[in-house]
Structure 1
Amino acid sequence: MSRFDMELAQVRAAVGAVPGWEGREIVAEPALPVLASPSWRGVDGSPWRAVDRASGDSLFVKIMDPDAALYIDVACAFAAACRAAELGIGPAVHSADAATGVLVMQDLNQGWRVGTLERLLDPALFDRVAAARRRFQEGPPLPRTVGVFDEIERFHAAAKAADAELPPDADWLLAELRLAGEAVRGLDVETVPIHGDGNVSNIMVSDAGEARLIDWDRATNADPLEDLGSLLVEAFDQEPEALDAFVRWTGRLDERAFNRTRLYGIADDLRWGLIGALVAAKSPRRTLEFYKFASWRFVRCRMAVREPRFGEMVRRLG
């Protein structure tokens, strides 16, 4: 049996187990193209859409790829998705089986569109996204606690062990971010549940202007500013715009907290570069451009670390 047929069988079984969907005749097909570069979209798990042939009702099914074990805690990710659904900031979850890696959710299809960099420039939308993330941060701890600086150590070691292709300056980048991490660890920083992924395609926007957060695979307990840093590095590459967004999010101008936020974003670029290189080395999915994605994140990290402002950010944290 082909992988497609095996996943199709999983989709049918999972949808048939959802209350109210028993015995329905469904049409199931891949929901969107899987794309590693430039957006890492649909890479963590195969996305499927199951449509009831009679009513047109649909469900979204995500089947985690075996590669996800390289960098995702599936149990924590599914727990975070369920909590987001309960809070009304993520799609409703109908079933979440971490053992099989199958997640069945509300299908944000008709009347919804994927977030983009341009859409996030709308202050009203940004405020709704910020409010959703802050609401998630107010909840009880998740089953996983790890910060970005610890993860870059882990993924660097894993990439080295896998003989992954890394840029010549990877060790230097790690050393520079290690200094930043040591500076941050010297601060008294709170730890809260965070979404953990700044990819703007993980924001869904309704025709009415509502915002929902999807893809909770990077969720963890960490500094709330780490959540903001991963978003700013993706959405606002110029410092004035990033500072404006920081003030909208936090409600105040705090240079030292802003420096910490920016350092988290720079470290996030290194983390994703290392993840991309690791998956490129170990994944059997050779058709996806994992290393192309990694190269871009390495380039942006390198540009930030080489800026004189980087040293100033590290010095001006406490």
Structure 2
Amino acid sequence: MDKFEAFEKLKEYSKNLSAVSYEEVYDLLKNGIKYIPIPLAKVKKKAYIDRVRPNKGETLFKHIDELGYIKDKNIIENHLTSFGRANCPHQVMFYGALETSLIDKQRLTAIAETSHIFRKPGIDCIDGELYTISRWEIQDEFLVVEIVFSEYALNNNPEIAQSFENQKKLLQEHNLDKKEMDFHLDFLKFISEEFSKKVSSNDDYKISAAYTNIALLHPDVNGICYPSVQTEYFGVNIVLTPETVDKYLKPIICSTQIVYKKGLKSLIANGKNYCKDIDINKDIDWKEHDKSILTDKNQVITHLEK
């Protein structure tokens, strides 16, 4: 089987991923297609990544370790049991959101991707749910795989369209013949759509998870960035390995946010607590905002009905 036949078989797999194993998908990518295209992009020094964790009721997180990638072995073994868009069951990854010009506050992307209120339509939450956002500063530039070939994302986000053009130019510099060029573009569009699709089952993540793990075998690859499905591709997500987080990221601030929702309207308001200077060797030094926080239910409803 050559790579063109393997690619056609992968497309067939994608139609019903619950019927094939992850190992079959991984093997087809790694040993069938073999040399899969990996478009690289730099994540710049001093850029920020926002990450969100849901709180349990009103309880505040105690240490920054609780806001980073999962370290609790019990959670990894007993709760991290499903495929994610860029991870296998029991595989720890760091999910966050990058800044884009279309969403001025990247925490909105992180909340939209994390909150079940947004992920499951038809859920109202007038009382609000508490989330904690942490911001991580990149200490030195590094490379990730850039997933920017999805038609959905290209149509919605001009920044992604520009990245797509840049990646096409890089491909053209390799002087590929038409058949090879078409294969590369078709494959990257297919993979991008796997990262961009709205899923009905965690099995639907098998191809994107397998591609991520194969791409991470590249010595220069530290993670994946791809458009945010929950923000209609206006935002950009980033997924990093724990090793990359430890080497390149520094947590600098965190704060609580409250998410309200009624019908199609939502409201994200500041919570009571924040920490402006995180020390990884100490517990989080939570402070309370001096200004009033939106907690009155009638005011919340008024905002949601505007």
Instruction: Provide the TM-score with structure 1 as the length reference.
Output: 0.25
Higher RCO structure (Cα 8 Å, ≥6 apart): 2
Counting helix residues as a fraction of each chain, which structure ranks higher?
1
Instruction: Provide the TM-score with structure 2 as the length reference.
Output: 0.26
Counting strand residues as a fraction of each chain, which structure ranks higher?
2
